[in-house]
Amino acid sequence: MKNLLILLLLIALGKANAQENLNFGRQKEVVSPQVNPDGTVIFRMKAPGAKRVQVQGDFLPRSGSADMKMDADSIWSYTSAVLPSELYSYSFVVDGLKVRDPNNVYLIRDVASVVNVLLIGNGKADNYKVQEVPHGTVAKRWYSSAELKINRRMTVYTPPGYEQSKEKYPVLYLLHGMGGDEEAWPALGRATQILDNLIAQGKAKPMIVVMTNGNVSQEAAPGESSKGFYKPGMMLPNTMDGRMEETFPEVIKFIESNYRVNARKDQRAIAGLSMGGYHSLHISRFYPQTFDYIGLFSPAVMADGRHKSKVYANFEESLKVQKNNGYKLYWIAIGKTDFLYKNVADYRAKLDQIGMKYTYRETEGGHTWSNWRDYLSEFAPLLFK
């Protein structure tokens, strides 16, 4: 009887401690970020020993920083202005040290930086959400590059219903910028969500989207290859030296050998941002019978001839060949404050000089994912008409 009483007492104490811990957890809960119905956002962080806490984010002017205020519970907070619909990134700075928001598990890597993200809907960013619509399939595919002598990885999106149908689909080859990889467009660009939603809305045709790794010295994204874990960097070997363009037919061959595609010029598109825009420009003119749709998003148009690759030879003459072969859409977009704005203006002047038609889209903002997500959302509905 005595042992039974002791056992019951221990159980009771255990329950009391559990309840105490539960209450403790509730009292200490910090909500951050808190997206309010009016479009403002409250950021919070508990930092009792800190002297100064700031929030940095692309929702602030010029991606600046703002001071947070501490309350009696040592919780620092900042309330933003009303923010338009968008996917935003941010970090905290505690006494000069940049840290992640410990209450927000949603993170994205951009080259070597990891930032928290939040999404404000009721606008264009609704296309970046996972909605209740049919979803495509996203696969990480490896292929053997005979020319580069390594196995390499790409991300491939197949549209909803691909597995159940016997239909052949058009293909968009979608290229990332410098420092990116085959994970950039799916993560930072929300490409798969954008395609799911545009297709469901009837605004874009069902298509396969191939997101390659444009760094030909890499097998795959950092941490996803035999090289193991290492700090990613911007400048890599063979960056914009012609090797990406020279070996790109291997990517096309792999896709057309492993997927049900319409292997015709009018069923292929290529587009890319920044360095990927540079690659799209040169791949499309170097293989002028391959693509009917070309998209240059903030393209890194630079002086050619810096490298001796055959890709960059006879630049203007090859553009004329591309023009004479014909194409359905040559689409250029850039922000007014983009550091590449003048380069793109000079390139457009060259196109005007040789009479090469193009569609030009100029937006606010600079060299940002906010613009590139917009450009994909506008470009994809124009394809394969």
Place of tokens 């193991």: 228
CB 295 within 8 A of CB 271: yes
How is residue 289 written in tokens?
A: 């019978």
Interatomic CA distance for residues 85 and 121, integer angstroms: 5
Confidence band of 8 (pLDDT split at 50, 70, 90): very low
Task: Look up residue 347 and give its DSSP letter.
Answer: H
247 Rama class: left (phi>0) / alpha (psi -120 to 50) / beta = alpha
* Structural domains of the chain in order of their starting residue, each with its CATH number: 30-122 (2.60.40.10), 131-382 (3.40.50.1820)
Q: Output the pLDDT for position 273.
A: 98
The DSSP secondary structure of 317-352, one letter per residue, reads: HHHHHHHHH--SEEEEEEETT-TTHHHHHHHHHHHH
Confidence band of 24 (pLDDT split at 50, 70, 90): very low
CB 158 within 8 A of CB 208: yes
Interatomic CA distance for residues 191 and 156, integer angstroms: 11
What are 263-297's pLDDT values in tens digits? 999 999 999 999 999 999 999 999 999 999 999 99
Interatomic CA distance for residues 314 and 27, integer angstroms: 69
What are 179-206's pLDDT values in tens digits? 999 999 999 999 999 999 999 999 999 9
Place of tokens 């019978």: 289
CB 272 within 8 A of CB 296: yes
Residue 33, preceding peptide bond in cis (omega within 30° of 0): yes
Sign of the alpha-carbon torsion through 92, 101, 18, 22: positive
The alpha carbon of 342 is separated from its chain's Cα centroid by a whole number of angstroms, namely: 24
Euclidean distance between the first and final Cα of the chain, in Å? Answer: 84
Helix, strand, coil percent values for the chain (each to nearest 5): 30, 25, 45
The alpha carbon of 381 is separated from its chain's Cα centroid by a whole number of angstroms, namely: 18
Per-residue burial over 175-214, b if 16 or more Cβ lie within 10 Å, else e, is: bbbbbbbbbbbbbbbbbbbbbbbbbbeeebebbbbbbbbb
What are 103-156's pLDDT values in tens digits? 999 999 998 899 999 999 999 999 999 999 999 999 999 999 999 999 999 999
105 Rama class: left (phi>0) / alpha (psi -120 to 50) / beta = alpha
From 94, 93, 116, 112, select the one nearest 103 (Cα to Cα).
Answer: 116
Confidence band of 23 (pLDDT split at 50, 70, 90): very low
Confidence band of 237 (pLDDT split at 50, 70, 90): confident
CB 270 within 8 A of CB 297: no
- pLDDT over threshold 90, residue 42: yes
Interatomic CA distance for residues 284 and 383, integer angstroms: 15
What are 301-351's pLDDT values in tens digits? 975 545 778 999 999 999 999 999 999 999 999 999 999 999 999 999 999
CB 297 within 8 A of CB 375: yes
- pLDDT over threshold 70, residue 365: yes
**Which amino acid appears at position 243 of this protein?**
R
How is residue 186 written in tokens?
A: 């799916």
Phi, psi (deg, nearest 5) at residue 200 = -65, -35
Confidence band of 9 (pLDDT split at 50, 70, 90): very low
- pTM, two decimal places: 0.90
CB 365 within 8 A of CB 336: yes
